[in-house]
Amino acid sequence: MPKNKNQKTKKQINQKRKTAKKKYKVRNWREYNESLKKRGMLDVYVDECILEDWYAQPNGKRGAQPVYSDLAIQITLQFGKIFSQKFRQTEGLVISLFKLMDIDLQVPDYSTLSRRSENIEVNIPKNDKEGIVAVVDSSGLKVFGEGEWKVRKHGYTKRRTWRKIHLMITPDGEIRAADLTENSVADCDTISSLFAQEEASIDTLVGDGGYDKRKVYTACKNKGVKKIIVPPQRNAKIFQHRNIKTEPHPRDENLRAIRKTSRKKWKERSGYHVRSLSETTMFRLKTIFGDKLNTRKLSRQKTEFLISVSILNKMTSLGMPNSYAIA
């Protein structure tokens, strides 16, 4: 026993060292530092094809509002999202840029941006890959309500509304699929919509206990996912026993491995902890674009969210840190 409370036994010190958080060091700091600076650089140029496709069709009657293409709407919304501007300020920003560049094009007004963002289709830029490791997770974005400090200090007195974001990423931080739903939608209910956005083959799916549902395993089987790393619930039972002459269920194999060793060892051996990278991506998304949505209608909120995802993928393509754990 230690002589006083401040002294610790050798066993306690060794146990603390084992449970201490790992420290990481970046190998390519110079290249990563340059990529971070490029994210803030403002190099604006307009390709000739964009000038030609800015309008969906020419003006009808004299003085009528032009019909803008989806490309024009998306580019304008991207400027607003990068600089954290509302629709009116976004309109003014793009007008100023076109004026400085001496471009004779009209800019969609704020009401047009609001109306057209409801039906625009946003494609997430991503690299060509095959046999990917897909990590799925969800988080929340605030729509309206009181701030966190006020709620923590005095409690909430008004309604607080959130939207749920669902992401499927790869370990290198690239977002492969994304969806936004109401906060009442469960994680497992969006797995089919995420798979529908991914054309590449998926070797491994990694998710938390919220994806431990039959519909998730059925969707993985239809997609051809070879390995499923989802921890079964604490009170989980075997789906199909070994006396049935069919292939063993992947959930049952995970459950048997946990029973033979422990849940902690199963997570280490199966590679489950790669799931923490999804939380890193969530943090990166909210740090750059904020944790709040500006629009009020769900269809427009989806467009706003997907534009943020598309911009984030372009930023991460400039360079990402290559880190390693310090022993």
The answer to whether residue 6 is domain-embedded is no
Return d(Cα 315, Cα 79) in angstroms, integer. 14
pTM above 0.95, yes or no: no
**Domain identity same for 49 and 170:** no
**Domain identity same for 86 and 209:** no
Return d(Cα 73, Cα 54) in angstroms, integer. 9
The answer to whether residue 169 is domain-embedded is yes
**Domain identity same for 93 and 174:** no
What was the pLDDT predicted at 109?
A: 93
The answer to whether residue 126 is domain-embedded is no
**Domain identity same for 283 and 153:** yes
Whole-angstrom CA distances from 42 to 37, 38, 76, 208, 233 are: 10, 8, 15, 39, 49
**Domain identity same for 276 and 137:** yes
Q: What percent of the chain has pLDDT over 90?
A: 57
Of 217 and 2, which is predicted with more confidence? 217
The answer to whether residue 13 is domain-embedded is no
Question: What CATH number is attached to the domain comprising 141?
Answer: 3.30.420
How many folded domains does the chain comprise? 2
What was the pLDDT predicted at 322?
A: 80
The answer to whether residue 252 is domain-embedded is yes
Q: What is the 3-state secondary structure (H, E, C) of the chain?
A: CCCCCCCCCHHHHHHHHHHCCCEEEECCHHHHHHHHHHHCCCCCCCCHHHHHCCEEECCCCCCCCCEECHHHHHHHHHHHHHCCCCHHHHHHHHHHHHHHCCCCCCCCCHHHHHHHCCCCCCCCCCCCCCCEEEEEEEEEEEEECCCHHHHHHHCCCCCCEEEEEEEEECCCCCEEEEEEEECCCCHHHHHHHHHHCCCCCEEEEECCHHHCCHHHHHHHHHHCCCEEECCCCCCCCCCCCCCCCCCCCHHHHHHHHHHHCCHHHHHHHHCHHHHHHHHHHHHHHHHHHCCECCCCCHHHHHHHHHHHHHHHHHHHCCCCCCEEEEC
The answer to whether residue 1 is domain-embedded is no
| Among candidate residues 137, 127, 225, 131, the one with its CA nearest the CA of residue 179 | 137
pLDDT at 1 over 60: no
**Domain identity same for 190 and 307:** no
**Domain identity same for 272 and 303:** no
Return d(Cα 174, Cα 310) in angstroms, integer. 10
Q: How confident is the model at residue 53 (pLDDT cuts 50, 70, 90)?
A: confident
The answer to whether residue 14 is domain-embedded is no
**Domain identity same for 302 and 289:** no
**Domain identity same for 83 and 190:** no
Quick one: CA dihedral 192, 197, 199, 202, positive or negative? negative
**Domain identity same for 147 and 288:** yes
**Mean pLDDT confidence for 75-84:** 93
Expressed as residue numbers, the domain containing 51 is 27-121+298-327
pLDDT in tens, 210-219: 999 999 999 9
**Domain identity same for 324 and 235:** no
pLDDT in tens, 232-287: 988 888 888 776 667 888 999 999 999 999 999 999 999 999 999 899 999 999 99
**Domain identity same for 284 and 323:** no
pLDDT at 70 over 80: yes
